[in-house]
Amino acid sequence: MLIPILISMKDYIRDKKDIKNISIISTIIFIILLTIVYMFLINIDVDIKQLEMPVIYVIQKISPKIKIIYGIIILISILTTAISLGMSFLKNTSKSKSQFNKINIIICISAILFSKIGFSKLVTLLYPILGGIGLIQILQILLKKCCKKG
């Protein structure tokens, strides 16, 4: 997932100063948001391992109305992420319109099949696999960068 996004971003961000600024701002925002989530999660009154989505449990305790809003935000986030990753993948793998359409159909059918598995089982199955693939991608990027310097 990392490579298609990075390849797509090269068309928009070219200046090293912009890359540095975006990285710093993104990191600060990410740390602030993680701190807020952590503060909520340390106040859970049940065993966190028993909860499929602990943040939803915490939000339910705060306000059921906020839970609905949060659910909508999560659905929109999932949808926009899926669309952007799918388009990045299609853009970088298909060489023609017909190949684009074939791969798109395969992605849609795969999504339907994977949706039947369920969220927690899907995360349990795919998280380690995609984490390993992500590490390989990062190593490839670093090796390519080192080879260019050497």
Distance, in Å, from the CA atom of 150 to the CA atom of 145, rounded to the nearest integer, reads: 9
Residue 30: inside a domain: no
Same domain, 104 and 122: no
HSE (CB half, 13 Å, CA atoms) of 119? 6
Residue 55: inside a domain: no
Return mean pLDDT, the chain.
Answer: 83
Number of domains within the chain? 2
Distance, in Å, from the CA atom of 26 to the CA atom of 20, rounded to the nearest integer, reads: 10
Residue 132: inside a domain: yes
32 vs 70, which has greater pLDDT?
Answer: 32
**Where in the sequence is the domain holding 130, given as residue range(s)?**
117-150
pLDDT of residue 150: 60
Cβ pair 92, 4 in contact under 8 A: yes
Q: Is 120 helix (H, G, I), strand (E, B) or coil?
A: helix
Same domain, 94 and 112: yes
pLDDT of residue 19: 78
The residue-averaged pLDDT of 76-92 equals 85
Residue 75: inside a domain: yes
pLDDT of residue 5: 57
Per-residue pLDDT band at 147 (split at 50, 70, 90) = confident
pLDDT (tens digit per residue) in 11-67: 677 788 887 888 888 889 989 988 988 887 787 778 877 877 788 888 888 888 888
Residue 90: inside a domain: yes
